Structure 1
Amino acid sequence: MSGNSNTALFSPDDVGVANGNYFGLPFSPAEAELVLLSAPWDVTVSYNPGTAAGPQAIIDASTQVELRDAHYPEGWRRGIATAETDPWIAPASERLRKRAEEVIAHLETGGSTTDAAVAAALAEVNAGSEKLNEIVFTQAASLLTAGRTVGLVGGDHSTPLGLMRAVADSLAKRGEAFGILHIDAHADLREAYEGFACSHASIMYNALRLPRLSKLVQVGIRDFCGAEAALAADSGGRVVQFDDYTLARNAFEGLDWSTQCSAIIEQLPENVYVSFDIDGLSPDNCPGTGTPVPGGLSYREAVYLLAKLADSGRRIVGFDLVEVAPSNDDGEWNANVGARMLYKLCNLTLKTRI
């Protein structure tokens, strides 16, 4: 993908070049401070599939992004590279999605995850999801060991678990803890949703079992079940939720966004992993995403929160951007928004690691 780059001849003001890399940047992983992994995977999506096409759609749209970022104008010079995507992922996603649909259809007609009729499909999907986690973990761990910062582009929200594990292990070796800033419409705290142990709806349930994760701070959530609410309430303050209704009510009653962002950031430790599900934004920003929900953050509110986090003295130790799905009805809008949010995440992450 990146191959032998020629950064000396690269001009950020030229027309973006479709070279297979995010933002058309010329860096190889060996040259860059930050490396992006792609996970074209949407096996366990429970509503509309399509996020497996997200990484390529974002790459295609990203050449239209101006490289001078308002928060870190020359950040790109530190190197943002695109790693090779493991060739197993995309075809396995397509194959296993069909198996997952068998399970979902069975459940939607009154069946159970314990029924023999879906046992083989469930086992196959869960084994495939574990293999994806191992692929991402291995790739991320190697990059982290080499001193790179790593971000992941999904794919559905199950995809970053391997990266989270790698970040947790890397920090644990240094005796450091971390927190997750989770921007999403959904709490994703379900246990083995629909029988899928690594479901997109279970990512934060699984993340809470990682070593050294001290705090999960959820922002913008507005669609969650009673079991998820109970898990958060019984977490002893380890899970803190700034739900969409409360954020909106506070704004309606005169509490400004800056003050609300400060309250969110105060809950986070020094090391922060950002997990950004695009459906945390209002649906006009992501109409093609798998499970859109009314409400949510505006693009500007999300950027302000991330910028304020970067300016707080905390360090972003990794991130993911997930659930972007291209849509024929909206041209490149979904990927356009996704590419710009991805670039903001890249630059703000680098800014915290000066």
Structure 2
Amino acid sequence: MKKDISIIGVPMDLGQSRRGVDMGPSALRYAGAIEKLEELDIKVHDLGDIPINRPSVEQAINAENNLKNLDQVIEANEKLSEMVDKEIQTGNFPLVFGGDHSIAIGSLAGISKHYENLGVIWYDAHGDLNSEDTSPSGNIHGMPLAVSLGIGHDRLTNIAAYTPKIKPENIVIIGARSLDPGEKGLIKEKGIKVFSMHEIDRMGMPAVMEEAIKYLKEKTDGVHLSLDLDGLDPSEAPGVGTPVIGGLSYRESHLAMEMLAEAECITSAEFVEVNPILDEKNKTATTAVALMGSLFGEKLK
């Protein structure tokens, strides 16, 4: 994890309904993400932001198959997939700044082709396992994990011209506390490993992370961390579009990142759903940057 890091910003808010998360990459940079990584003796290549095309009023009204902004989300994720693919080929660690969580579709599409068994840690209050058939909202940011499993609209599942990107047995969801009925059914059907807040409260974060790391290390050849800031409690990360009370604490999240750093298992990462419009003095982005520090090996002594 000490290899060069390539930062790719994806200023997209089209996967959900609340404006502002398109400013997430800027908020993370403003909070000192690059400086934090450079303090850890990491060479950082900031590749800037992928340009995002906004839909016309007519396109926005006529959502296809209960999928809002489908064309634009696909276009952005195709671009992201290509950029991530290129950076892995050069030997760099891809670090993606969102944007809403629909960008994970492109991240995983570009990353997974380089691994036989890519593992995924989905650090999130939500499962993001909906499809157009199960989604209450039609927001694609609630679908990226399902899409990456090959479930959903074929134009989404076939981004980068292959599907599926990941296997259900290689996924660990951490921090879940808001799952739709369709998602619960899919988790049971596919046998996806989930540490909900119930398990975290009962077991404690050290035991959860030990089990998650052991579970993935035994079967994967790389692990992607997809960290949605709404995994944390809204008191810790207020600047998110879909806050759910009763979430992970600041210290629990730091411990999780510290244990991942010690395990040296993370091969790519993304930090998503920072919405400075809904935030308090950029608190959420500052928290995200602090967590990046722990993920990449920052220690107190």
What's the TM-score bracket when you normalise by the shorter of the two chains?
Answer: 0.7 to 0.9
Quote the residue 1:221 is aligned against. Answer: 176
After superposition, where does 1:234-253 map in structure 2 within 5 Å? 234-235=189-190, 237=191, 239-248=192-201, 250=202
Counterpart contact for 1:35–1:151, Cα < 8 Å: yes
Cα distance change of structure 1 residues 99 and 279 upon mapping to structure 2, 3 Å threshold: farther
Letter in 2 for 1:96: P
Runs of 4+ in structure 1 deviating by more than 4 angstroms, as ranges, are 63-68, 97-101, 119-124
Letter in 2 for 1:154: G
Counterpart contact for 1:44–1:97, Cα < 8 Å: no
Given candidates 129, 151, 162, the residue that maps to 2:106 is 162
Give the total of aligned pairs.
Answer: 278
TM-score by length of 1: 0.71
**What is the CA deviation profile of residues 293-319 of structure 1, one whole-angstrom value per residue up to 9, with x for unaligned ones?**
00111121112112212323x521211
| Residue 181 (1) aligns with residue 121 (2) | yes
Quote the residue 2:160 is aligned against. Answer: none
Letter in 2 for 1:243: S
Q: CA RMSD in A?
A: 2.8
Given candidates 54, 65, 74, the residue that maps to 1:130 is 74
Three-state SS of the structure 2 residue aligned to 1:327 is helix
Given candidates 260, 265, 272, the residue that maps to 2:213 is 265
Three-state SS of the structure 2 residue aligned to 1:293 is coil
2:64 & 2:142 partners in 1: Cα distance? 21
Cα distance change of structure 1 residues 52 and 278 upon mapping to structure 2, 3 Å threshold: same
Cα distance change of structure 1 residues 338 and 256 upon mapping to structure 2, 3 Å threshold: closer
| Residue 306 (1) aligns with residue 272 (2) | no
**What is the CA deviation profile of residues 14-50 of structure 1, one whole-angstrom value per residue up to 9, with x for unaligned ones?**
xxxxxxxxxxxxxxxxxx711010000011214x321
Structure 1: any 5+ residue segments left out of the alignment?
1-31, 69-73, 103-117
After superposition, where does 1:9-20 map in structure 2 within 5 Å? none
Counterpart contact for 2:7–2:48, Cα < 8 Å: no
1:120 & 1:244 partners in 2: Cα distance? 34
Counterpart contact for 1:100–1:122, Cα < 8 Å: no
Deviation at 1:63, TM superposition (A): 6.7
Counterpart contact for 1:273–1:318, Cα < 8 Å: yes
After superposition, where does 1:42-191 map in structure 2 within 5 Å? 42-46=13-17, 48-62=18-32, 75=40, 77-86=41-50, 88-89=51-52, 92=53, 95-96=54-55, 102=61, 118-119=62-63, 125-171=69-115, 176-191=116-131
Letter in 1 for 2:214: E
Identity %: 26
After superposition, where does 1:253-332 map in structure 2 within 5 Å? 255-269=203-217, 270=220, 271-312=222-263, 314-327=264-277, 330-332=280-282
Cα distance change of structure 1 residues 99 and 189 upon mapping to structure 2, 3 Å threshold: farther
2:103 & 2:43 partners in 1: Cα distance? 24
Deviation at 1:241, TM superposition (A): 0.7
Relative CO higher for 1 or 2, CA cutoff 8 Å, sep ≥ 6?
Answer: 2
Letter in 2 for 1:327: I
Structure 2: any 5+ residue segments left out of the alignment?
151-163
Deviation at 1:228, TM superposition (A): 0.4
TM-score by length of 2: 0.82
Counterpart contact for 1:53–1:326, Cα < 8 Å: yes
Deviation at 1:207, TM superposition (A): 1.8
